Amino acid sequence: MYKICLVEDQKDLAILLSNYLTKAGYEVIVLSKGKDAIKYISKVSLWILDIMLEDDISGYDLIKMIREKDKVVPVIFTSARDAEIDRLLGFELGTDDYVTKPYSPKEVVLRVNNIIKRTYSDSSIITYNNYSINPLKREVKDNDKIVNLTELEYDLLIYLLNNKSKSIERDQILKELWQDNYFGSSRVVDDLVRRLRKKMKKATIKTIYGYGYRLIWK
């Protein structure tokens, strides 16, 4: 299932659009503040961003942060601003679409459907040791059987795959996955790796003692 992060400070509009997207088969995270959205960067399939939000982090600020880590994930801007300069700025920052308020939720769903189809195809599926990994749906299959991973387990898998055959420090994994939301020992990474190994027994994750881990890619 594709996951969408909807960042919108108009509560009624956010609920309405979220309901339409959910009925269309999407998993939707609804937020009203930019600061709450930061932790979902690189963890969703598509963003719908209002430009003006409740806090001092705007949609413009968010897309800059998103594009620093992910050049591919689709972003749709929504705004009451319809001036050419606003639209041009949005596209310069890397948005895939710009929808002016008031809008039809049905139209937004159709735009989302089209962007998802254009962005995500079978070519994006990763095959590793007989596992089929769909980064867009955040889904892992073992011979067509779903492997049930938690959010963190999946994030760890993708991070290791993106750095395959490289040795990665525990602290580096900790910073990437938890960012600023965890205070404690980096040994929490060991427990996460242990759980991932248990669920994906055919994955080869080598322990680099006193340092971290490396995903063996053959």
Q: Report the pLDDT value the prediction gives residue 70, as an integer from 0 to 100.
A: 84
Q: Check: CB of residue 213 under 8 Å from CB of residue 191.
A: no
Share of the chain above pLDDT 90, in %: 55
Whether 124 has a pLDDT exceeding 80, the answer reads: no
Written as six digits, the tokens of 20 are 């339409």
Whether 218 has a pLDDT exceeding 80, the answer reads: no
Query: Angle at the Cα of 98 (from 38 to 107), degrees rounded to 5?
Result: 105
Which residues, listed in sequence order, are joined to residue 29 by a DSSP beta bridge?
A: 5
Q: Which domains does the chain have, with CATH numbers?
A: 3-120 (3.40.50.2300), 123-215 (1.10.10.10)
Q: Report the pLDDT value the prediction gives residue 185, as an integer from 0 to 100.
A: 74
> What is the pLDDT of the chain when averaged over all its residues?
89
Mean pLDDT confidence for 189-205 = 94
How far CA 7 is from CA of 48, 93, 110, in Å, comes to 6, 17, 18
Rounded-to-integer distance, Cα 43 and Cα 53, Å: 21
Read off the pLDDT band of 205 (50, 70, 90): very high
**Best CA proximity match to 65, nearest among 41, 94, 87, 84:** 41
Read off the pLDDT band of 217 (50, 70, 90): confident
Which is higher by pLDDT, 182 or 57? 57
Rounded-to-integer distance, Cα 112 and Cα 28, Å: 12
pTM for the structure as a whole: 0.64
Whether 136 has a pLDDT exceeding 80, the answer reads: no
Q: Check: CB of residue 45 under 8 Å from CB of residue 137.
A: yes
Residue whose tokens read 């955040």: 138
Read off the pLDDT band of 181 (50, 70, 90): low
How far CA 120 is from CA of 5, 9, 134, 149, in Å, comes to 17, 28, 9, 21
pLDDT tens string 154-176: 999 989 988 888 999 998 898 88
Q: What is the DSSP string of the chain?
A: --EEEEE-S-HHHHHHHHHHHHHTT-EEEEES-HHHHGGGTTS-SEEEEESS-SSS--HHHHHHHHHHH-SSS-EEEEES---HHHHHHHHHHT-SEEEESS--HHHHHHHHHHHHHHH--GGG-EEETTEEEETTTTEEEETTEE----HHHHHHHHHHHHTTT--EEHHHHHHHHHTTS--S-TTHHHHHHHHHHHH-TTS-EEEETTTEEEE---
Whether 207 has a pLDDT exceeding 60, the answer reads: yes
Which is higher by pLDDT, 179 or 12? 12
Q: Report the pLDDT value the prediction gives residue 121, as an integer from 0 to 100.
A: 67
pLDDT tens string 24-59: 999 999 999 989 999 898 889 999 999 888 888 989
Which is higher by pLDDT, 206 or 81? 206
pLDDT tens string 7-16: 998 999 999 9
